[in-house]
Each structure stands twice: as C-alpha cells, then as structure tokens.
Amino acid sequence: MIPMSWYLIFSAALFAIGLYGVMARRNAIAILMSVELLLNAVNINLVTFWRYRTPDRSVGLAWAVFVLAVAAAEAAVGLALIISVYRNRDSVIAEELDLLRN
Amino acid sequence: MSPDVTLEWGMALVPELLLLLLMMLVLFYNKLKKSASPRDVGLLTAWGAFAILLTAVALSFSATPASAEAMWGGMIRGDMATLVFRVIFLSALIITALLSIDEERLQRGEYYALLISATMGFSLMAASSDLIMLYVALETASISSYLLAGFYVDKELSVEAGMKYFVYGAFATGVMLYGMSLLYGITGYTNIYTIGGMVRANAGGISPELNGVFLISAVMIFVGFGFKISAVPLHFWTPDVYHGSPTPFTGFLSTASKAAGFAVIFRVFTSGAVGIPNDTSFWWAMLVAIAIISMIVGNFAAISQTNIKRMLAYSSIAQAGYLLIGVVTFTAEGAGASMFYLLMYAFTNIAAFGVIALVAKDAGADELTDFNGMSRRSPYLALILLFALLSLSGIPPTAGFLGKFFIFRAAVEQGLWWLALIGLLNAFVALYYYLSVLKYVYLYPTDKEDVPIPVSRSAWIGLWVSLIVIVYLGVFANSAYEWTQEAATAFFALSG
C-alpha cells in the first residue's frame, strides 16, 4: 500500500500551487482556478485521512462531498461576479480593479 | 449517533427553517403577486424576521435543559449562546431590511432573499458544533455576502467590492478548510467538542510530535475566522468592500458577519479543539498580538480617511481588536462581555450606516464633506448619528461605554491589565476621529441649509429603534449583560 505521506505531500504541494496562483496570477479567472486548487487539495486530504485513519466511519468522505458541492456554488458566484466586472470594465485583470483605494 | 430525529431536534432549528421559508416567500413574492408595490418585499422581510425573532425567543423559554445537548448527530447545539447570536443576527436583519425598503435599486426579491440566506448561514454558524456543519454554514453566509457586496451590477465600485470580497474570501476559506482537514486527520473526528475532549484528556493516541500540526491547523483556521471578523492581518478587504457595497448591506456585513465570526471563534478556540486554551499556548500569544495590532492599525488608519464608509471600516477593524480582548481572557465573563459588545455593536453600527445611506442617497456621495451642516438640515438624523458615534467611541450613557467597560474589566480580572490599558489608550485615539465627524455634522456650513434630508417612515422606525436600544443598553444593561453572561457559560460546557 502506498504510504499516507505520499498523498499528504501531494496535497500540500497542490495547496502551495494554489496559494501561489491566488497571489501571483493577474487574471481573475486564473485566481478562481487557483482557489479551486486549494479546495481540491483539501479534498485529497479528507479522502486520504478517511482511508487511512477512519475507514470505518465515512465522515471524511461525506465532508469531501460537501466541499465539492460548496465549491461548485462558489465557482458559479465567482464567475457571475467576474462577468459583471467584465461588463463594467472590459477587463478581468485583478490589478486594474483599483477604484477602491485610499 | 442515534438516527432518531426527535421533535426536539426539529424545534432547535425552527428559526433557521422559518428563515428558509421566508426566503422562498420573498423570492417568489413578485412573481405571485403582480400588483405588488415595490416596497412590499422589504416590508415582508422585516415583518417576517420580526416574527421569527419573537418565535426564537418564545421557544427558548419552553425549551428543556436537554436542548443544550448536541443534536442532529452532534452537528448543532441549541444552547443559550446560539440564542444570543440568533437575536443579534435577526435584529440586524430586521433593521437592515427597514433601512433598505426605500432604496429603489434594492427593491428586489433577490436582495432580500440573499440577506435572509446570509442570516440563516450566520445563525447556523453560531449553532454548529461540528467542523463540517461549520464549514457549510460559513459558506452559505459567505456566498450570499459576496453577491450582496456586488449587488449594484451596473456600478463599478459595487462590482469591484464584490469581486475583491469574493477573491479574498474564497482564499481565506480555502486556507481555513485545509486547517480543518488537518485537525480531522490528527484526531479522526469532526465534532469540535469531541476533538476538544480528546485534546484535554490527551486520549486517542495524539503523540506530542503532533503538537506542531495542531498549531498549524489553529493558525490556518484562524485565517478563515479572522477574515470574517476583519482582524489584522486579514483586514485588507474591509475598507474596499465596505466602501463599495450598497450602504445598508455594509451595516449588516459589519455587524452580523463579525458576530458570526466571533461565535465560531468562541466555539472552536474555547472548546480546546486546537489546543487547551490557556495563556501558555502559542496561539494565545498570537490572538493577543492580533488584538493589539488590530486596535492600533484600525484606529490610526481611520484618522486619515476622508470617506466616512472607509473610516467606519477601519473603526470596525479596531472594534475586532477590542472584541478579541474578551476572547483571550478565556473566561465565561470575557466571552459574555464580548457577546454583550456584539449585541450593542449590531444596533450601533447599523444605525450609523443607516444614516450614512440616507445622507449619501441625498448627496450622491459618502465623503465626510457631504455631512456638512447636517444638524441644521435634519436635527433628528444628526442626533441618531451622534449617539451611534458616541456609542462606537465608548462614551456614557450609550451602550458602547458599558460594552468596553465589561470587556476591559474581564481582562483586568484575568491579570491582563496591560491589555486593557492598551485598549483604553486606543479608545482615546478613536475618540478623535469619531468626534471629527461630528465637527462636519454640527459646525461646518453647507449651501443646502434648511433643506431636510428625505427619510422614509420605515427608515425612521429602524433608526429610532436602534437609538432606543443603544440608550437602553447603556442605562439598563444589567438584564442584557446577565443574559449574555449566562449564555457564555455554554461555550465552556464541554460535555456532549
């Protein structure tokens, strides 16, 4: 059996890529995709912990399903907001959203 | 986990279920009744929320002590603390709805449905005693809030606020969720109180090497919660989102969302799920540092603001700092003081933003100079703003004074007199910028003297009710304070 740490390292790496993406990408769509990476890293964690730590109780699996459902709702709302930004500004570049500042 | 769904379980969620029903009604109201006046949907929300508030309070009298037990398989705790937070959220919803009724662009079923679903999410956050439930409730509230912040889809500021809130919010929630998954990985459980019990008993084979992982998960979970309460260093979204959002919603966001954030901080951090709460743990020091930095950054950044919504945004960051003092005492007294503060803060800040909304609607902007000569234009509106700002700065006879007093007293009793002192000094700094608003309102001339600011009847009701509560809690605080004190003990009841 593959050791648990492999999955956890993979998940941590995915999480780090997501974090980097949220902070470094300029395009709002890419930022949204990076947020999805964060949530997928969490899901890998949850399913791994379920399989290795509590295979007799499905709590981790159930949680992963909740995360999937919420992530879908979040993506829908995020895309809606990106569209309304695009309609106003003809741009989805995060740095150009600079009307609100001190 | 018993599979029997009892009547008592159902009763524990009656306010949330009624909110769900109200949301459906509001959404389909305009479709069902074509002849409806555009104000109807707001009135329906306000009356419905008022009825739900009465139901929630009435149910709390009939509930047996057993209702404080974990319900729905450990997902929900219908204890006193849940009730106090429900009252805060529902009051915030009622007054926000009253203030929104006559905003033409907010006279839509979607706006009120989102407000109600956010309230439902906040309410469930306060009730949840399981990480899964907490996450889903938090996202219910957050996703509704993102949309509400960007609700003026043709207004660049609002759209930008919604976008920023979404990006930062989704990021903070993702980090929080990763921390929660680590906690589940270490312990194998998701119930906050089960994990807390394991940590306390050091059972379940938690080896000392895992202490570091606990710490990481505590910090990551605090990223999500700190975002909700807009504590430094997770405050960067606050001024932008408060500035750009529809103003009545800003009042709701600044109070209900913050209260919900504190509710989950109390649940998770006092339960011991991320380590036994005492003043030797690393994250205790972290919370103290965050409290101090939030107060200082919030207050000093607020001084230089020229836009009143941004100023109050920085003020709300500072308020999060005061409230965290109540958290770090880790006593029922400190938690009760913070809950009292949140209760009075809901009325105070919504009243302040309500007045701002009315002035901004008249002037077309919300800069400080738009408030010039307001006391001569609308003396009563100026009076309400005066009391709201006095309450925010903590001057008697308003509720804000007692709120700060109770928190600082709880800190001093725990030997944290230096923290209370820092809070007190910050309150003096805050006095400067709150009072400088009154300078615009009462002293500066305007070219529109004697032209009253139009205020609708429903907005008057909302504002006067807030004023009465602010003064009432400032003079007769005893019963409310004892109520929050009693409720706060629920956070420290570790059974179930």
- Ordered by start, the domain boundaries in chain B are 7-492
Contact B377, B453 (CB under 8 A): yes
Q: What is the pLDDT of residues B417-449, one digit of tens each?
A: 999 999 999 999 999 999 999 999 999 988 887
pLDDT classification of B12: cutoffs 50, 70, 90: confident
Q: Which domain holds residue A66?
A: 4-96
Instruction: Indicate whether B107 pLDDT > 60.
Output: yes
Asked if the Cβ–Cβ distance from A22 to B171 is below 8 Å, we say: yes
Distance from B103 to chain A by nearest Cα, in Å? Answer: 21
Q: What is the pLDDT of residues B271-311, one digit of tens each?
A: 877 877 776 778 889 999 999 999 999 999 999 999 999 99
| pLDDT at res. B496 | 40
| pLDDT at res. B66 | 47
Sign for the CA dihedral angle at B365, B371, B376, B379 comes to positive
Short-list B236, B240, B36, B67, CA closest to B150: B240
Which residue, among B1, B154, B160, B250, would best test binding to A if mutated, counting the most A CBs under 10 Å from its CB?
B160
A73 part of a folded domain: yes
Sign for the CA dihedral angle at B188, B193, B199, B204 comes to negative
pLDDT classification of B38: cutoffs 50, 70, 90: confident
The number of distinct structural domains making up chain A is 1
Tell me how far CA of residue B296 lies from CA of B283, B301, B401, in angstroms. Answer: 20, 8, 19
CA–CA–CA angle B201, B215, B487 (5° rounding): 60
CB atoms within 10 A of CB B418: 12
Contact B270, B195 (CB under 8 A): no
Asked if the Cβ–Cβ distance from B161 to A100 is below 8 Å, we say: yes
Asked if the Cβ–Cβ distance from B163 to A81 is below 8 Å, we say: yes
Distance in angstroms (rounded) separating the CA atoms of residues B44 and B26: 7
Backbone angles phi, psi at B101, to 5 degrees: -55, -40
* DSSP assigned state of B232: T
With a threshold of 0.90, does the pTM exceed it? Answer: yes
* Nearest residue in B to A96, CA atom: B160
Short-list A15, A64, A11, CA closest to A38: A15
* DSSP assigned state of B253: I
What pLDDT tens digit does each residue of chain A (102 aa) get? 889 999 999 999 999 999 999 999 999 999 999 999 999 999 999 999 999 989 999 899 999 999 999 999 999 999 999 999 999 988 888 888 878 776
CA–CA–CA angle B263, B344, B91 (5° rounding): 75
Q: Which of B135, B146, B184 sits opposite A49 (nearest CB)?
A: B184
Which single residue is written with the structure tokens 């974090």?
A19
Contact B18, B55 (CB under 8 A): yes
Asked if the Cβ–Cβ distance from B146 to A77 is below 8 Å, we say: yes
A87 part of a folded domain: yes
Report the C-alpha dihedral over residues A82, A88, A93, A99, rounded to 10 degrees. -110
Distance in angstroms (rounded) separating the CA atoms of residues A13 and B14: 43
Answer whether B240 touches A (CB < 8 Å).
yes
pLDDT classification of B198: cutoffs 50, 70, 90: confident
Distance in angstroms (rounded) separating the CA atoms of residues B137 and B260: 10
Average pLDDT (B160-170) is 94
- Complex ipTM value: 0.96
Cβ-based neighbours of B164, under 8 Å, separated by 6 or more: A97, A100, B237, B240, B241, B244
Instruction: Indicate whether B401 pLDDT > 70.
Output: yes
Backbone angles phi, psi at B128, to 5 degrees: -75, 140
| pLDDT at res. B494 | 64
Q: Which helix (H) or strand (E) holds A18?
A: helix A4-24
Q: Which of A45, A54, A100 sits opposite B160 (nearest CB)?
A: A100
Instruction: Indicate whether B19 pLDDT > 60.
Output: yes
Q: Which two tokens stand for residue B286?
A: 């972290």
Sign for the CA dihedral angle at B3, B7, B9, B15 comes to positive
Distance in angstroms (rounded) separating the CA atoms of residues B87 and B343: 8
Residue B156 burial class via C-beta count within 10 angstroms: exposed 0-12, middle 13-18, buried 19 and up: middle
Q: What is the pLDDT of residues B217-273, one digit of tens each?
A: 999 999 999 999 999 899 999 999 999 999 999 999 999 999 999 999 999 988 877
Here the CATH number for the domain that contains residue A76 is 1.10.287.3510
Between B173 and B194, where is the model more confident?
B173
Instruction: Indicate whether B206 pLDDT > 70.
Output: no
Contact B130, B138 (CB under 8 A): no
| pLDDT at res. B289 | 95
